[in-house]
Amino acid sequence: MATWNSRGLRGSVLEDMINRTNERYLAEGLALIQKIPTPITPINIDKETRHITLAYFDQKSTVDYIGAVQGIPVCFDAKECAVNTFSLQNIHPHQVAFMENFEKQDGIAFFLIYYTGRDEMYYLPYKDLKVFWDRAQSGGRKSFRFDELNTDYFIKHKADGFVPYLEALQKDLETRD
């Protein structure tokens, strides 16, 4: 079972950037997106600082963020990748199922992937993830390569940490029926 002190801070740089972006989108009246906390059960608590030093995750989380953009329901997960190949082991079956059901309810589901080694951000629409996912489930590659990604969905993040993912979301919306 995963524990907080072994995995809990992975992706914190990306999440900090997304959190700042979401605050800006809210202030500008563009979107209301909230971080979904993962329920944990504390195991060890530092008595002096009252900080949790070890905990385990109570249940499987669905996605990192959920909310609405101009009346459109959205959900997404944030992932970091240090290499050019993204392992699908970083995405769990319950997340894929949640996103599929979210899209069936006319919501928009996607991943924001930060390729740390390249300092590049990518918006992965659910429909594109599903192609990679189905390929893996059929005995194919259990990952996807950087060069397999649609160049239309790269995001130019700003030096101040702003991640303008609404531009990629708009492109995603334009490709839907």
What distance, in Å, lies between the first and last C-alpha atoms of the chain?
41
Q: Is 77 annotated as a binding residue?
A: yes
* Residue given tokens 């963020």 in the structure block: 65
Taking the C-alpha atoms of residue 165 and residue 77, their distance in angstroms, rounded to an integer, is: 12
Q: Is 95 annotated as a binding residue?
A: yes
Closest residue by Cα to residue 171 from 103, 101, 122, 118 = 122
Q: Is 64 annotated as a binding residue?
A: yes
Helix, strand, coil shares of the chain, percent, nearest 5, are 35, 30, 35
Numbered residues of the known binding site: 62, 64, 77, 95
Q: Binding site for Mg(2+): which residues?
A: 62, 64, 77, 95
